[in-house]
Structure 1
Amino acid sequence: MTIATIEIPVPAALPPLAPAKQRILDTADRLFYDEGIRTVGVDRLIADAHVTKATFYKHFGSKERLVVAYIEHRHRDIAERIADFARDAGPTETLRALRDAIVATIHEPGFRGDPFANAAAEFSDHLHPVRRAIEEHRDWYLQVLEDLLRRMGVPLAGDVADDLMLARDGAMSGSYVGDPVAVTASLRRQFARVLPDDH
């Protein structure tokens, strides 16, 4: 039986970055997630990326622009992974793979919670470019969930997508401060509402 292709919207691929720019972004990705955005200054980023101050400002112009690039990089990574799940798979298999990816992420060494929620906690102004980038990611994620559920024939797909998004948010934060095994078991129970064949 032919499986209908599921189109997961993915940001346009970026052209290859200059090595120094890629190094700055990779360094920011690691430090911002591990230590927090506000605590990592430009001088630290420059030192750890082994670039000059002039190179940093040539490629990003400001720390704020780098933070937005970091959020967009995280979004693109997740979008590409979900698109990979959906390739040659139906909506049920894609949703199951998405759930399993959340659980796997929670159990990864160095897990510190949801990078988007962590970043949002550091930028209180909802009009800030960083918050707008985070909101765009969350709107996208919620739409993907709703689309998968609708394709599965789940009634009130939008409401169920909201419930699964909340369960994901709770699992990502609760597992960092609590027991990851108990939290991911709870997450699985929430997904079992629409994946009833799972045990």
Structure 2
Amino acid sequence: MPSPSEGRPSEARSRLLDTATRLFYTEGIHAVGIDRIVAEAQVTRATLYRHFPGKEDLVLAYLNEVDQAMRGQADEAIAARLPADGTIRALSASIAQGIRSTGFRGCAFLNAAAEYPDPESPVHKAVLAHRQWFLETVTELLAKIQETGAEPAARHFVMMRDGAMAAGCLFDPVLICETFLRGVERLLQVYAVTDYSEPAGA
């Protein structure tokens, strides 16, 4: 008979990942060393290396946690079975809520990309994989409104989100979120009557 804990992460691993997630996000990945994580998680270095062979493995686990949380937000918006534009609005509201939350420090993936610019880095590749998923998710939603130009419109949405996340940790997050949500409304209005596959001014 399988153990009740089988398939569940150990308490030590959870503490390590929770500690790393908090420190990497608030202080930066390169700024936080293994010794700091071990001390704050109250485990030994041997325990850390048993779960994560190297710091890069811990960074990838951190990004996977953030990725799963964002996928959960998208799944929740989609599960509400709203019309496609309503789902986009719900997803945008979730993004705005995150920007307004205490301790917001921008997009974890853009922050990681800035610290790992090498395209061959596994961390950089994880960032690109997450962003591709997000672009495809928004593209699929917009295609339910109209198929023509769904991907260009989705790229527009992603750029607005990126801008809001960058500005949200520098300026008044309430004002930034209001601007972002107005931009989303405008995008939806224009997209419904515009062929986004055509270059501007064509």
For this structure pair, what is the TM-score category when the shorter chain's length is used for normalisation?
Answer: 0.7 to 0.9
Which of 22, 31, 35 aligns to 2:14? It is 22
5+ residue gaps, structure 2, are 1-6, 190-202
Q: Give the TM-score, by structure 1 length.
A: 0.87
Contact 2:85 2:145 in 1 (8 A): yes
Which of 46, 49, 73 aligns to 2:65? It is 73
Determine the structure 2 residue equivalent to 1:8: none
CA distance, structure 2, for counterparts of residue 112 and residue 100 of structure 1: 18
User: How far is 1:195 from its partner?
Assistant: 4.1
Which of 118, 130, 140 aligns to 1:125? It is 118
User: How far is 1:175 from its partner?
Assistant: 1.5
CA distance, structure 1, for counterparts of residue 174 and residue 45 of structure 2: 44
Determine the structure 2 residue equivalent to 1:44: 36
Q: Give the TM-score, by structure 2 length.
A: 0.86
Determine the structure 2 residue equivalent to 1:151: 144
Which of 79, 104, 128 aligns to 1:87? It is 79
User: How far is 1:154 from its partner?
Assistant: 5.9
Which of 108, 113, 127 aligns to 2:106? It is 113
Higher normalized contact order (CA 8 Å, seq sep 6+, divided by chain length): 1
Contact 1:154 1:194 in 2 (8 A): no
Q: Which amino acid aligns with 1:186?
A: T
User: How far is 1:194 from its partner?
Assistant: 4.5
Q: For 1:167-195, what per-residue CA distance to the aligned partner results, in whole angstroms no more than 9, with x for missing partners?
A: 00000001211232332222112211344
Contact 1:85 1:94 in 2 (8 A): yes
Determine the structure 2 residue equivalent to 1:11: none
